[in-house]
Amino acid sequence: MNISELFIRRPVMTTLVMFSMVLFGLVSYFALPVSDLPNVSYPAIEITVSYPGASADRMASQCAAPLEQQLAMIAGIQQMTSSNSLGSTTITIQFDLSRNIDAAAGDVQAAIQRAQGYLPDDLPTPPVYLKVNPAEQPVIYIGLTSETLPTTTVYEYAQVLVANQLSMLEGVSQVLVYGNYLHAVRVEADPLKVASRDLSLSDVQNAIENANATLPTGSLRGPASNPTVLTDGQLNTAADYEPTIISYVNGSPVRLSDVATVEDSISNDQMKSWLNNRECVVMGVERLGNANTIALVDAIEKMYPILEDQLPASIKLFTVYKQSTSIQESVNDVRDTLGIAILLVIIVIFAFLRKVTATTISGLAVPFSLVCTFAVMYLAGFSLDNLSLMALTLSIGFVVDDAIVMMENVVRHIDMGKGPLQAAMDASREISFTILSMTLSLAAVFLPIIFMSGLLGRIFNEFGWTIIATIMVSGFISLSLTPTLCARLLKATPKREVEAKSPIEAETGLFKIFLQIYAHTLHWAMRFRLVVLLLGVASVIATGYLFMVMPKGFIPPEDKGYLIAFTVAEPGISFDDMCRHQLALYPILEKDPNVDSVLGVVGVVGPITSPNNGLLVIILKPRSERQHSSEELVPILAEKLRQVPGIEAFVVNPPAVPVNATQTKALYEYQMKSMDTAALYETAEKMLLKLQELPELQGVGTDTYLSNPQVSIEIDRELAESLGVSAQDIINALDNSYAERKIKKIYGTSLVFWLILEVGPDFRDDPQALSNIYVKTQSQQMIPLDTIVNVKETVGPLVVNHDGGIPAVTITFNNAEGVALSEAVTTVKDASQGMIPVEVTAQFQGALEAFIQSITSLYILFLLSFLVIYILLGMLYESFFHPVTVLSGLPSAALGGFVTLYLFNCALDFYAFLGIIMLIGIVKKNAIMVVDFAIEAQHKGEKTPIEAAVEGSLVRFRPIMMTTACAIFGAMPIALGLGAGAESRRPLGLAVVGGLVFSQLVTLYLTPVIYSYLESLQERLGGHRHPNSPPTSEAR
């Protein structure tokens, strides 16, 4: 059966089929969303609890623990961590990828409800949860500033007007307004003035609560109308609260303004954000998974004039950072690489065929295959991203292979004196099984990639399917369009040029010299087959050895156009000092020629889990305007920021593929857990010091600080009880003084505010200030708090972290420049030997956990690739031996890739491994061409296995060289690392180019040798030649 005959005999049908496929492909191309990475939903939920004034230990025991106990019963949890600091608990749950996030959210809500009875009764608000996706970052950050309006007003406009209108845009998932500049009325009491009037802070609290009444008052019901009853029970501003009467002393009213300072302020005065040293409100817009990032950002920026018309004139709206810039740069670079690769491949084809028509026919397979693949991508719900475009770029080198093989065979038949139509019919009949074998076996190479598990499997699933689709489309085109064009466009060879020629005599020029050299060396190799076989065995051993010992990496970094710096000061630092230290970093960054702007935050918000931490988002200039990539800038900026005393900056290049649900000070994590907190903290401190000494690591830090100054208050219960003062009275006095107690809601036009009670700043600056706090005895006398309590200054943890409900400490680090990730992992493991006691468990987390799992997956993936090819080829050839012949050259290809990576000082990271997988497919195709022709030669005549192997190798030498050269030049732009962000993809290109060059020198001799050995063995075992050989040539 000749698959191509139908298309050759019906050119109109073929033309219309191709036209339809191209048309659908072009329409799909413009409909495909554009993003940096494939749309991957990584189900995670974040739960936050606010309990102002509570210590980290209390937040862990009273808020985190009850919630964790209930949440742990939810099915499908992969990891549950919590971070507990002063007044704040954040619990992050990562679910299995198979878990539906909406169903998980329902389970989380139910767990929170079950835990309510175990949580403190006086929580100002119940725990709230938010669905998050660590793989999805805001596509744009928007800043709002005003020269005249207070920040609270700007924040309210951002929250109510801007966020609501942007949320209505198509493709917007949610709009986040960072920080908490929400308006609040703050009452800063003077405890001495309060006590001097025989009042307590509880009296002040009660008076304020009673003065602000917000119950509904109903309506009247008259015969003619029902007027609504309105009251002025709610007080809204500081001026409204100041006249509030707390009590009467000697007949005179004591008003709130007499004993306290009342001011309109903000809800969280321990948080500030700046852009370029100027305070501002920042918003982040996240996209829906299927939205086009570039189009969405453009739509958002087009909304600016509309929003500014509705905002006060003094509020300025501007873009802080947009992800579309780096995405557009990267996508444009990959597109340019794609174009360069296509051009190089066409030049290679012309160099071999030396005919414009033949080159055009073969070259058409490239754009047709790529355009038609866009249709498959659209139907599959894929996007135009770095991975799918990289898959298309890599496909260029081998999508033309099938067309070349078909074209070369048709030309060979025309050179025999046949007419173009007959040559196309005979050549396609002869070669169709070979092309089918090559196409299916090459597609099978990438099947293990699409079945990878975990987050990496989800991300690279689109990469694998895109390559498979391109391969299958190119195979179809080579069996339909290519022979049809050959039959219609090629010309017959003049009779005077037609004569029986050997493969060498049929060639001319330089290529004839190469073929002659190959023929001589091949005959030598066949005489000394054992030597060649031993070299093949040696390449297998060397490949296995290098695969085991080569330094391994994870996913290489990419240039996203920004860096993140986590700032850390001494535990216990005041908020004002922390702000001053962080602002001292701005001038250094602003002077750097690579930096465009700097966004900074101080306060417990988002990834900042403790008061001595801050965050800097360093926005870089476009790649074309700076000298260094983002990865190169990490040590440069870290060194500059180290000049500022009193604060340490951990600069991080955001990972190309986010794995953690939360951001950390460095890319990699080493976690220790134990129920014995004393042993845990002691071990963690020793381990931190040990890792900081290792030159293989840099940016070593921790998420736990144990030397936070604390004031321990011990109640003299016997004395207190004798005076009629209960422990609850003492706790209430402290709560009203220092916990920023939210005692009353204020309902605004669009948002809900709080009234906050605390003592003035002069009464909370040091432990001696406790002597100014008074409590009321049973006899209504006011006594200083320090008369019934003992005050001691101690130290304790600033943050308490849990993992799975167990206390945990995480050490974060980066691998030093020039140190592979596998070497860094080994270094940490070696350093931990003998340092971790039995009661403490230690393991890698986050990206490193995924890296270790991926190493195991790489071994399995490598073996599966071989197994899948063997099974498929065995079924196609109906032979146990011929697949071994095809596979015999693959170790040499991998060996060439490993050696090239080593020479260029590249680790075997995930991209490089994809290059090795591609090598397996490309080299295998070359072996199939030799084996298929050798089988056919033996099937036609009485040739020995050695004669058939030699003839097959010589006849297929030109298409093998052409397909290999096309693959090499197709991958060359990637190997050269040209363009923005191309450095991360370079190992992939190097592996392909180096592996092909080396394997070509080996497999041209090893494949015929192995074929001759196995064919002879099969004849001896089977007793006759090819009892079940596949149909070839006319037999087909």
Could you state, in order of their start, the residue ranges of all structural domains in the chain?
1-31+355-491, 43-132, 184-213+235-266+708-761+773-796, 498-549+879-1020, 561-653
Please report the pLDDT score of residue 619 as a whole number.
92
Please report the pLDDT score of residue 1034 as a whole number.
37
Q: Cα–Cα distance between 973 and 685 in angstroms, integer?
A: 48
Same fold? 1-31+355-491, 561-653: no
Domain 498-549+879-1020 listed as CATH 1.20.1640.10: yes
CATH architecture assignment, domain 184-213+235-266+708-761+773-796: 2-Layer Sandwich (3.30)
Q: Cα–Cα distance between 947 and 236 in angstroms, integer?
A: 99
Please report the pLDDT score of residue 1 as a whole number.
56
In the chain, the N- to C-terminal Cα span, in Å, equals 5
Angle, CA of 602, 269 and 802, to the nearest 5°: 55
Per the CB < 8 A criterion, the answer to whether 623 and 329 are in contact is yes
Low-confidence ranges of the chain (pLDDT < 50): 496-498, 500, 1023-1036
CATH numeric code, 1-31+355-491: 1.20.1640.10
Q: Which residues pair with 709 in a beta bridge?
A: 795
Homologous superfamily of domain range 43-132: Multidrug efflux transporter AcrB pore domain (3.30.70.1430)
Phi-psi region of 805 (alpha: psi -120 to 50; beta: other; left: phi over 0): left
Per the CB < 8 A criterion, the answer to whether 493 and 891 are in contact is no
Radius of gyration of the chain (CA): 36
Q: Cα–Cα distance between 722 and 781 in angstroms, integer?
A: 13
Q: Cα–Cα distance between 782 and 194 in angstroms, integer?
A: 10
CA neighbours closer than 13 Å in the CB half-sphere of residue 192? 8
Q: Cα–Cα distance between 129 and 115 in angstroms, integer?
A: 14
Single-letter amino acid code for the residue at 855 = I
Q: How far is CA 152 from CA 70, 159, 362, in A?
A: 37, 10, 66
Please report the pLDDT score of residue 661 as a whole number.
62
CATH numeric code, 561-653: 3.30.70.1430
Please report the pLDDT score of residue 739 as a whole number.
87
Strands 183-189 and 752-759: parallel
Nearest to 960 by CA among 434, 452, 204, 471: 434
Q: Which residues pair with 811 in a beta bridge?
A: 670, 702
Residue in this structure with the two tokens 């862990």, named with its chain if needed: 60
Please report the pLDDT score of residue 309 as a whole number.
93
Q: Cα–Cα distance between 386 and 377 in angstroms, integer?
A: 14
Question: How does pLDDT run across 131-152, given as a tens digit for each residue?
Answer: 887 666 788 999 999 989 988 8
Residue 503 in tokens: 């493969």
